[in-house]
Amino acid sequence: MSAEALSGSQAAVVAERSRRDRPLDLVGIVLTAITLLVALASFFPIYWAIITSVKPDGEVISGSNSLWPGRFVFDSYIHIWNNTNIAIWYVNSMVTSLIITVLVIVSSAGCAYALSQLDFPGRRLIYVLILACFMVPMQALIVNHFVLMAQFKLLNTWAGIILPQLIVPVVIIVYKQFFDSVPKEFREAAQMDSAGHFKILFRIYLPMNWGVTAALGIITFIGAWNAFLWPFLAATGEATMTVPVGITQVKDAYGIVYGKLMASAVVAGLPVAIVYLIFQRRVTQAIMLSAGVKG
Amino acid sequence: MLRDRKQEYLTALILVGPFILIYGALFVWPTIQMVLLSFTKAPLIGVGDWVGWDNYVKILSQKLFHSAFWNTAWFVVLTVIPNTLISLAIALAVNRLNGWLQGLVLACFFLPYILPVSVVFLTWNWIIDVQYGLAQGVVALFNGGEPKSLTRTIPLFMPTVAFVTVWWTMGFNILLFIAGLRNISPEIYEAAQLDSAGRWRQFYRITWPLVWPVTVLVLTIQLIAQLKIFDQVYLFSIGGRQDATITLVQYIYKLAFQQNKGGEAATAAVLLFGMIIVLSVLQYQLLRARGEK
């Protein structure tokens, strides 16, 4: 074996190693660049909606389509504030979404605690009901929800918008999983001190799972705020509409509407966008939990 | 002891009470009513004569129901598969990144998902607007320099709405895929690197088989979700030829709220119900099979 051949193969090994360990990974850089571009493209429609909403009307339809407004104006926002019921829709959306969130969380936590910690007749039946509910499309129930709400004269009321949206079985399932994993010793110790189940639920189980409650609450709120089909059916009067319904139902009869429509879109998306940006982690966690994937 | 037991039942009843009230009144009761209603010739509000299976025979042979079914199926095909592939690709790309850059990129992809459907609709309706929309620049390239309405041209309607839907909902799938990718132990990749397996080889020998269970989950969740499609398709079709692009839930809506045929609407709802339950049971079995492995 000649020395030359040996050094040749050594060189190849060294070259191979340096290629692998080289900090400058060209393919990697290209991939990262593409990823960033696609991410920007994905964000662009949102950017475009925001930018359009602060352009003067003349600029919106000038065809220049400039990515940065020549002049920032808030006329569109002032217009929708003065000429639509958006403030009322906002109140409707806020009130109904918050009530839905509180009711869903409280009723689900109670039910999950009973399923997880108590022995009582009918447990299995409740479990079957929850599973059945998972499989049933709420969209198929719109007709009978409407009939039911009409019978109780709840159409065009907050209660009418809220009630059918209280069916969120996944919250019960997630709570039950978390309550199941709380060590039994906590409950037994509390029971030694003769604490009742309500006290145990509110003083031990819920505080211990505070993060889950936050995650589920946030995702329930977002879901309720975004709901379209049911509020669209239940609230037909302009005074009882929610924001997502209102902004698609009321058309300006004259004038250039694009800027105004984008302003209403921005205003409608703002609360959920803010909630998401503040609680990113929780939102992600909640989505994983509700899909049954461990994050 | 007996008192303790009684106490426990009472506690359970109070805790489960709200659930029973809510689900009994708003899930069990409407479901029973829906089935009963489907056998009658009732208007939306009010009672009607019992007609047996007449509504079913009528609807199953109705042309509009067939187009609703096929439009929905077409929409499912156009969204579910592309969405899954794109989401997996993006998840792989995002998973490579680290730290704040990863957070930022992920937020870009995820932000659309948390927006209300009407915001998505208004935004894209403006982007594809036939007169001033930004996308018309691209459309003109394919249409001999002429603008063309993407939502009023029937063959382009579903692909356009599907595209918007994929943009809107892919954040959810990306999250699930990233969770799946993170569960793959890095040691497997290190071993592969020692065998100097290239990127592509690593993907289809390690990554793809190991995220397959997540892929199945993503596919079935979407399949069931998209069968229930209403919002976007309805919003984009306002002012257009709605019957040509009608979907199943929209068909129920039309029968009940535009034609005042409560009985027939309930029949259509029962049919949709049936389809989704079959798929859900399949999904459940699939997931359980996975869990037991």
How far does the CA of residue A130 sit from the closest CA of chain B (Å)? 9
> Nearest CA of chain A to the CA of B155: how many Å?
24
CATH 1.10.3720.10 segments of chain B: 53-292
Q: Is B47 helix (H, G, I), strand (E, B) or coil?
A: coil
What is the per-residue pLDDT across A251-263, written as a single tens digit (0 to 9) for each? 665 566 889 999 9
Residues A247/B126, Cβ–Cβ less than 8 Å: no
Say yes or no: ipTM exceeds 0.85. yes
Closest residue to A166, CB basis, from B26, B112, B266: B26
Task: Return the minimum-mean-pLDDT range out of A177-186, B27-36, B197-206.
Answer: B197-206
Of A27, A143, A288, the CB nearest to B34: A143
Inspect the interface and report whether the beta carbons of A140 and B269 lie closer than 8 Å: yes
The position carrying tokens 């990823």 is A35
- Nearest-by-Cβ selection for B96 from A31, A141, A294: A31
Among candidate residues A40, A55, A79, the one where a domain is terminated: A79
Range(s) of the domain holding residue A199: 80-291
> Cβ distance A267 to A77 under 8 Å?
yes
Amino acid identity, residue B26?
A: L
Which residues on chain A are in Cβ contact (under 8 Å) with B11?
114, 118, 196-198
pLDDT > 60? residue B166: yes
Q: Where are the alpha helices (DSSP H) in chain B?
A: 2-23, 29-37, 54-60, 63-96, 99-110, 117-127, 136-142, 154-182, 186-194, 199-202, 208-227, 231-237, 248-253, 262-292
Residues A101 and A185 in one domain: yes
- Domain C-terminal end among A79, A97, A119: A79
A144, A262, A276, A279: best mutation site toward chain B, by most B Cβ within 10 Å? A144
Chain A residue with CA closest to B136: the answer is: A63
Of A46 and A194, more confident: A46
- Looking at A79, A98, A125, the residue that finishes a domain is A79
**Quick one: A29 and A95 in the same domain?**
no
Chain-chain contact of B126 with A262 (C-beta, under 8 angstroms):
yes
Over residues A37-74, the pLDDT tens digits come to 999 999 999 999 999 999 988 888 887 788 888 889 99
Distances (CA, A) of A198 to A201, A272, B12, B109: 5, 33, 10, 42
CB B140 within 8 A of CB B132: no
Provide the pLDDT for residue A100: 98
**Cα–Cα distance, B284 to B185 (Å, whole number):** 27
Contact between A62 and A275 under an 8 Å Cβ cutoff? The reply is no
Q: Is A181 on the interface with B (CB under 8 A)?
A: no
Q: Which of A7-21, A224-238, B197-211 has the lowest mean pLDDT?
A: A7-21
Does one domain contain both A218 and A201? yes
Q: Is A227 left (phi over 0), alpha (psi -120 to 50) or beta?
A: beta
Neighbour count for residue B193 (Cβ, 10 Å): 12
Question: Does the pLDDT of residue B72 top 90, yes or no?
Answer: yes
- A61 bridge partner residues: none
Please identify which residue in the block is written with the tokens 């039946």. A125
DSSP tag of A237: S
Task: Kindly state whether A156 is in contact with chain B, defined as any CB-CB distance less than 8 angstroms.
Answer: no
Average pLDDT in chain B: 91
Q: Give me the phi and psi of B149, to 5 degrees please.
A: -75, 125
Yes or no: say if A275 and A226 are a contact pair by the CB < 8 Å rule: no
In this structure, are A42 and A110 located in the same domain?
Answer: no
Cβ neighbors of A61 (< 8 A, separation 6 or more) are A256, A258, B131, B132
What is the rounded average pLDDT of the residues B51-66?
Answer: 95
- The answer to whether the CB of B78 falls within 8 A of the CB of B162 is yes
The one-character DSSP state at B130 is: T
**Same domain membership, residue A92 and residue A43:** no
Which residues of chain A make contact with B104, given a CB cutoff of 8 A?
39
- Both A116 and A259 in one domain: the answer is yes
A49 in contact with B at a CB cutoff of 8 Å?
yes
Q: Which two structure tokens, joined as six digits, stand for A276? A: 């998401």
pLDDT at B31: 95
Question: CB distance from B163 to chain A under 8 Å?
Answer: no
Q: Which residues contact B120 (CB under 8 A, 6 or more apart)?
A: B112, B164, B167, B168, B232
Distances, alpha carbon A93 to alpha carbons A250, A268, B120, B232, in Å = 16, 10, 18, 20
Whole-number Å distance between alpha carbons of A228 and B255: 19
Interface of A with B in 186-225 (CB under 8 A): 196-198, 201, 222, 225
Binned at pLDDT 50, 70 and 90, residue A168 comes out as very high
Q: How large a percentage of chain B has pLDDT more than 90?
A: 67
In this predicted structure, the answer to whether residue B280 has a pLDDT above a threshold of 80 is yes
Report the alpha-carbon distance of residue A216 to residue A209 in Å, rounded. Answer: 11
Locate tokens 């997996």: which residue?
B88
In degrees and rounded to multiples of 5, residue A196 shows phi and psi of -80, 170
| Neighbour tally for B49: CB within 10 Å | 11
Best probe of the A interface among B84, B88, B118, by most A CBs < 10 A, is B118
Angle at A11 between CA A8 and CA A13, to 5 degrees: 115
Same domain? A93 vs A62: no
CB contact under 8 A, B167 and A45: yes
The DSSP output letter for B132 is T
Predicted pLDDT of residue B2: 62
Is there a contact between A93 and A227 (Cβ–Cβ < 8 Å)?
no
Tokens at A96, concatenated: 């109904």
Are residues A41 and A88 both part of a single domain? no
pLDDT of residue A6: 45
CA distance A131 to B164: 31
Residue A50's H or E segment, with its range, is helix A26-53
Q: How many other C-beta atoms are found inside a 10 Å radius of the C-beta of residue A120? A: 17
Cα-based angle B68, B71, B76 (whole degrees, multiple of 5): 125
Distances (CA, A) of A158 to A143, A162, A169, A178, B181: 19, 6, 22, 32, 43
- If you average pLDDT over every residue of chain A, what do you get? 87
Give the pLDDT of residue B293: 43
Residue A124 to residue A127: CA distance in whole angstroms: 5
Do A245 and B118 count as a contact with CB atoms less than 8 A apart?
yes
Q: A64-118: per-residue pLDDT in tens?
A: 788 888 889 999 999 999 988 999 999 999 999 999 999 999 999 999 999 998 8
Which residues 126-145 of chain A have a CB within 8 Å of chain B?
Answer: 126, 129-131, 133-137, 139-145
Q: How confident is the model at residue A22, as a pLDDT? A: 54
User: For residues A137 and B36, what is the distance between their CA atoms, to the nearest angstrom?
Assistant: 17
Residues A65, A110 within the same domain: no
- For residue B6, what is the nearest residue in chain A, using CA coordinates? A120
Of the partner residues B114, B126, B199, the one whose CB lies closest to the CB of residue A283: B114
Q: What is the pLDDT of residue A10?
A: 55
DSSP state letter for B100 = H
Alpha-carbon gap, residue A282 to A276, rounded angstroms: 8
Do residue A228 and residue B116 have CB atoms under 8 angstroms apart? Answer: yes
Please, which residues have CB within 8 angstroms of residue B17's CB and are 6 or more apart in sequence? none
DSSP annotation of B50 reads B
What total number of domains does chain A contain?
Answer: 2
CATH assignment of B53-292, given 1.10.390.10, 3.30.70.20, 1.10.3720.10, 3.90.1150.10?
A: 1.10.3720.10
How does DSSP assign A103-169, residue by residue?
Answer: HHHHHHHHHHHHHHH---TTHHHHHHHHHHHHHS-GGGGHHHHHHHHHHTT-TTSHHHHHGGGG--H
Q: What is the pLDDT of residue B290?
A: 61
Position A153 confidence tier, pLDDT thresholds 50, 70, 90? very high
CB contact under 8 A, B111 and A46: yes
| The residue type at B39 | F
